[in-house]
Amino acid sequence: MRASGVRSRPAGPALLLLLLPLLLLLGAAESLRRALPPRRYTPDWPSLDSRPLPAWFDEAKFGVFVHWGVFSVPAWGSEWFWWHWRGEGRPEYQRFMGDNYPPGFSYADFGPQFTARFFHPEEWADLFQAAGAKYVVLTTKHHEGFTNWPSPVSWNWNSKDVGPHRDLVGELGTALRKSYKPDLIWSDGEWEAPDTYWNSTDFLSWLYNDSPVKDEVVVNDRWGQNCSCHHGGYYNCEDKFKPQSLPDHKWEMCTSIDKFSWGYRRDMAISDVTEESEIISELIQTVSLGGNYLLNIGPTKDGLIVPIFQERLLAVGKWLSINGEAIYASKPWRVQLEKNATFVWYTSKGSAVYAIFKHWPENGLLNLVSPITTSTTKILMLGIQGDLKWSTDPDKGLLISLPQLPPSAIPVEFAWTVKLAGVK
Ligand SMILES: *[C@@H]1O[C@H](CO)[C@@H](O)[C@H](O)[C@H]1NC(C)=O
Ligand SMILES: *[C@@H]1O[C@H](CO)[C@@H](O)[C@H](O)[C@H]1NC(C)=O
Ligand SMILES: *[C@@H]1O[C@H](CO)[C@@H](O)[C@H](O)[C@H]1NC(C)=O
């Protein structure tokens, strides 16, 4: 996995970056290094938007999002704790502070309790790898300004001066890959001001033309008011964006295992935790529609990832270990959602077509209307040996006989993939 970090940046533009009152997340990715033809971009949207997206991002398909910072200390409500408490003065936050902290306790007083004492970046890296993630996006700086690296412009409000006394971004980056170069900048907070306020186009033209990561870096679309879903690299549009048909621009769905927060909350109930089948279902739909899926967890202030999040991540990893062939480096097929069986989503790779189905038909026959068979058609199920029998029916289309297996022999419990070769 590609590592994240900021120290390798030249001082000037790095300062510009750090001064942005945005949520900046630097990502890490495993990738194919593909040099882009050298060309200069000018600091305007038509030029910046014309940059081809480095290929690694589309091939990666699945990433892990990590919200971690001082908000992980109160670990209550959401990662916007500071804003809900001090900015909006929500009564439940006033009550929570009154009940649990001495009078006069400030948000900054949480800083020293952000210890990261049990943070072992290699363990995180191993977990994310086992989850099948190809990139990691960490909150290097959330909206209250605390930086998870020793930022020279966030004096006394960063993870080296306060709390862990460690460079958390750098350590995780090293564990992910022996490099210090950010590959992905996930900008946020764009609703606060126009892109001209942050000089976003100046920053991006430097990033694409002259930065040490100019060939591989990927950015999102939150660079100022009205940029989201219109300008930048790939599109996040709104949080948890879920298009219903194939967009014509690369996009990413970001979502959180905890349905109500991105940061860790001690008050999370089991019913707040997204089901494994829903996570896998969203991953399939997202990839079928050409998107990447960025799944969030919130570690504790100690740097632990609680077992329920580990369990969900490992479930995705187990599913991908069988079905990853239909996901990684796949492309949308000419049909995304099967017309007559809306539990079937398609992807493709080269001449292979993958039909991922979310319900096992009771009669053991999977009926597909979109693929057109030929004299060379061959069909198999990922994770199962041998070809499957199939036939065509003039009224119904393709009928695939699914293997009759005891539950213990079925490779995954939810969502199976048939691979079709020699179909049109
Ligand atoms: C963003 O769009 C809204 C609605 O169209 C418009 O009122 C506003 O001026 C735009 N802001 C910028 C910075 O372009
Ligand atoms: C944008 O650039 C101008 C001119 O160099 C500078 O005065 C201003 O501070 C910059 N804005 C930000 C948010 O850094
Ligand atoms: C698919 O559904 C449509 C509409 O319900 C129906 O008219 C058509 O016969 C179905 N086709 C097949 C092959 O089942």
The DSSP bridge pattern shows strands 218-219 and 184-188 to be parallel
What CATH number is associated with residue 108? Answer: 3.20.20.80
Residues 102 and 205 in one domain: yes
- In angstroms, rounded to a whole number, what is the distance separating the alpha carbons of residues 392 and 371? 11
Question: Which residue has the CA at smallest separation from atom 6 of ligand 2?
Answer: 199
> For 189-313, where are the E strands, in sequence order?
218-219, 251-256, 291-297
Question: Which residue has the CA at smallest separation from atom 1 of ligand 2?
Answer: 199
**Which ligand places an atom closest to the C-alpha of 225?**
1
String of DSSP letters for 128-167: HHHTT-SEEEEEEE-TT--BSS--TTSTTSBTTTSTT-S-
Average pLDDT, the chain: 89
| Per-residue pLDDT at 178 | 54
What is residue 353's DSSP assignment? E
Examine residue 121 and state whether it is found in any structural domain, yes or no: yes
Among 325, 323, 331, which residue's Cα sits nearest to residue 412?
Answer: 323
| Per-residue pLDDT at 21 | 28
Residues 237 and 254 in one domain: yes
Rg of the chain (C-alpha set): 23
How far is ligand 1, taken at its centre, from the CA of residue 26, in Å?
Answer: 28
- In angstroms, rounded to a whole number, what is the distance separating the alpha carbons of residues 78 and 216? 33
> Sign (positive/negative) of CA torsion 350, 341, 289, 239?
negative
Residues 150 and 273 in one domain: yes
What CATH number is associated with residue 415? Answer: 2.60.40.1180
Whether the Cβ atoms of residue 281 and residue 316 lie closer than 8 Å to each other:
no
- In angstroms, rounded to a whole number, what is the distance separating the alpha carbons of residues 89 and 139? 24
- Buried b / exposed e across 239-252, counting CB within 10 Å, b at 16+? eebeeeeebeeebb
Residue 157 has pLDDT above 80, yes or no: yes
| Amino acid, single-letter form, for residue 192 | E
Examine residue 238 and state whether it is found in any structural domain, yes or no: yes
How far is ligand 2, taken at its centre, from the CA of residue 184, in Å?
Answer: 23
pLDDT, tens digit, 9 for 90 and up, residues 96-130 = 999 999 999 999 999 999 999 999 999 999 999 99
Lowest mean pLDDT among 16-30, 239-253, 259-273, 281-295: 16-30
pLDDT, tens digit, 9 for 90 and up, residues 43-88 = 999 999 999 999 999 999 999 999 999 999 999 999 999 999 999 9
Is residue 251 within 6 Å of ligand 2 at its C-beta?
no
Among 34, 33, 32, 29, which residue's Cα sits nearest to residue 1?
Answer: 29
Is residue 348 within 6 Å of ligand 2 at its C-beta?
no
Residues 297 and 355 in one domain: no
How far is ligand 2, taken at its centre, from the CA of residue 19, in Å?
Answer: 10
Count of CB atoms situated within 10 Å of the CB of 297: 26
Residue 148 has pLDDT above 50, yes or no: yes
Residues 338 and 313 in one domain: no
Among 314, 6, 283, 3, which residue's Cα sits nearest to residue 135?
Answer: 3
Count of CB atoms situated within 10 Å of the CB of 350: 9
Lowest mean pLDDT among 114-123, 137-146, 341-350: 137-146
Examine residue 32 and state whether it is found in any structural domain, yes or no: no
> Residue 155: which pLDDT band, with cuts at 50, 70 and 90?
confident
3 state DSSP class of 23: strand
| Per-residue pLDDT at 190 | 86
Residues 376 and 261 in one domain: no
| Per-residue pLDDT at 102 | 97
| Per-residue pLDDT at 144 | 87
3 state DSSP class of 321: helix
Is residue 16 within 6 Å of ligand 2 at its C-beta?
yes
Residues 181 and 203 in one domain: yes
What is residue 381's DSSP assignment? E
| Per-residue pLDDT at 15 | 24
| Per-residue pLDDT at 69 | 95
Predicted TM-score (pTM) of this structure: 0.89
Examine residue 19 and state whether it is found in any structural domain, yes or no: no
Locate the ligand 1 atom nearest the alpha carbon of residue 195 and give its number: 13
Which residue range(s) make up the domain with 66? Answer: 45-326
**Which ligand places an atom closest to the C-alpha of 371?**
3
Last-in-domain residue among 260, 291, 326:
326
3 state DSSP class of 300: coil
Examine residue 6 and state whether it is found in any structural domain, yes or no: no
Residues 176 and 61 in one domain: yes
Examine residue 70 and state whether it is found in any structural domain, yes or no: yes
- Tell me how many domains the chain contains: 2
Locate the ligand 3 atom nearest the alpha carbon of residue 340 and give its number: 1
Residues 142 and 104 in one domain: yes
Examine residue 16 and state whether it is found in any structural domain, yes or no: no
Is residue 194 within 6 Å of ligand 1 at its C-beta?
yes
Please name the residues in contact with 78: beta carbons below 8 A apart, sequence gap of 6 or more.
Answer: 71, 84, 260, 261, 262, 263, 265
User: Tokens 């969900």 map to which residue?
Assistant: 312
